[in-house]
């Protein structure tokens, strides 16, 4: 209650004062219980989202990591048989911090419905350095498989978003594999430590039948065993048979630059 309101009430008759107090209390109650949009303006954007959106540090760290990996791919000795780089999509190729900013301002977190709407907007931006890395993989003669936990039915939206940003992707050089129920069900079965292991094994075994199954002219490229020589992601589960619980961080550090690239993501992850 403001000082002005207290002063005015003091001048009223007892009856008027009681009525005014009731009115004031009632209006305060209404104000406090209405979940209207003006309340949303009171929600702030988290530090993690601000760091990703605004900081020089995020730009520098991410681009430095990608540049180093790009040089490593250029210099790496590749196998004679067909090889691929397995890449995650979100916060690895595509930056979705605008989605998180919007959710923060609403005072809300992730939901599968709002996320699907965001994916269908196809307006995510590129992670710094990622287009150059992808270009180098192709120049070196490699293929890319995108193993993403976006739902499989959203693969065309993901693909459109990437192509619109001028990632040099086509059906001859890249396969996109969104998550299916089979991936969820596989966790805990033999050799499947996380929900991307099934897709990695399908690529390695030549059983990734889902890859461009509607396009017979390119199926031959994807339906044969492919050697995964490098993995890129922002989540420890983007790497084969790895979880927060089982990762040996010292061993993992030794692999950086030789066969893995781990990017920063302060906003969300399997660490939550
Ligand atoms: Mg990711």
Q: Domain boundaries in the chain?
A: 3-32, 44-262
Residues, Cβ < 5 Å to ion ligand 1: 88, 90-91, 234
The Å distance, Cα 271 to ligand 1 centre, comes to 12
d(CA 192, CA 226): 18
The Å distance, Cα 34 to ligand 1 centre, comes to 37
The Å distance, Cα 100 to ligand 1 centre, comes to 14
- pLDDT tens-place values along the chain, 272 residues long: 333 433 333 443 444 444 444 444 344 433 333 444 444 567 999 999 999 999 999 999 999 999 999 999 999 999 999 999 999 999 999 999 999 999 999 999 999 999 999 999 999 999 999 999 999 999 999 999 999 999 999 999 999 999 999 999 999 999 999 999 999 999 999 889 889 999 999 999 999 999 999 999 999 999 999 999 999 999 999 999 999 999 999 999 999 989 999 999 999 999 99
The Å distance, Cα 21 to ligand 1 centre, comes to 55
The Å distance, Cα 88 to ligand 1 centre, comes to 6
The Å distance, Cα 66 to ligand 1 centre, comes to 15
d(CA 62, CA 77): 24
pLDDT of residue 39: 43
The Å distance, Cα 235 to ligand 1 centre, comes to 6
The Å distance, Cα 91 to ligand 1 centre, comes to 5
The Å distance, Cα 27 to ligand 1 centre, comes to 47
Quickly list DSSP for 58-95.
Answer: HHHHHHHHHHHHHHHHHH----SS-EEEEE--BTTTEE
pLDDT of residue 41: 60
CA angle 157, 144, 205 (to 5 degrees): 110
The Å distance, Cα 128 to ligand 1 centre, comes to 14
pLDDT of residue 191: 87
79: CB partners within 8 A, 6+ apart: 227, 229
d(CA 246, CA 259): 18
pLDDT of residue 252: 95
The Å distance, Cα 110 to ligand 1 centre, comes to 14
Please check whether residue 162 is in contact with residue 94, taking contact to mean a CB–CB distance below 8 angstroms.
yes
The Å distance, Cα 30 to ligand 1 centre, comes to 43
User: Within 10 A of 180 (CB to CB), how many other CB atoms are there?
Assistant: 16
Q: Domain spanning 44-262: which CATH class is it, in words?
A: alpha beta
The Å distance, Cα 189 to ligand 1 centre, comes to 23
């Amino acid at each position: 209650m403001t000082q002005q309101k207290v002063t005015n009430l003091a001048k009223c008759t007892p009856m008027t004062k009681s009525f005014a107090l009731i009115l004031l209390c009632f209006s305060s109650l209404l104000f406090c219980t209405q979940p209207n949009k003006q309340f949303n303006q009171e929600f702030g954007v988290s530090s993690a989202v601000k760091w990703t959106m605004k900081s020089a540090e995020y730009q520098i760290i991410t681009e430095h990591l990608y540049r180093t990996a790009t040089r490593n791919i250029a210099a790496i000795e590749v196998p004679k048989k067909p090889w691929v780089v397995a890449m995650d999509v979100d916060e690895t190729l595509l930056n979705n911090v605008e989605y998180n900013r919007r959710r923060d301002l609403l005072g809300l977190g992730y939901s599968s419905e709002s996320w699907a709407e965001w994916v269908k907007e196809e307006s995510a931006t590129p992670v710094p350095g990622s287009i150059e890395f992808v270009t180098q993989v192709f120049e070196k003669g490699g293929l890319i498989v995108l193993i993403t936990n976006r739902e499989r039915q959203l693969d065309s939206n993901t693909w459109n978003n990437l192509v619109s940003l001028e990632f040099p992707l086509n059906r001859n050089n890249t396969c996109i594999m969104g998550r299916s129920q089979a991936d969820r069900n596989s966790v805990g079965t033999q050799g499947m430590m996380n929900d991307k292991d099934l897709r990695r094994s399908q690529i390695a075994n030549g059983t990734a039948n889902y890859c461009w199954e509607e396009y017979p002219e390119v199926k031959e490229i994807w339906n044969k065993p492919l050697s995964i020589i490098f993995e890129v992601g922002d989540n420890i589960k983007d790497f084969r048979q790895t979880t927060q619980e089982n990762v040996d961080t010292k061993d993992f550090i030794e692999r950086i630059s030789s066969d893995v690239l781990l990017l920063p993501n302060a906003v969300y992850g399997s660490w939550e």
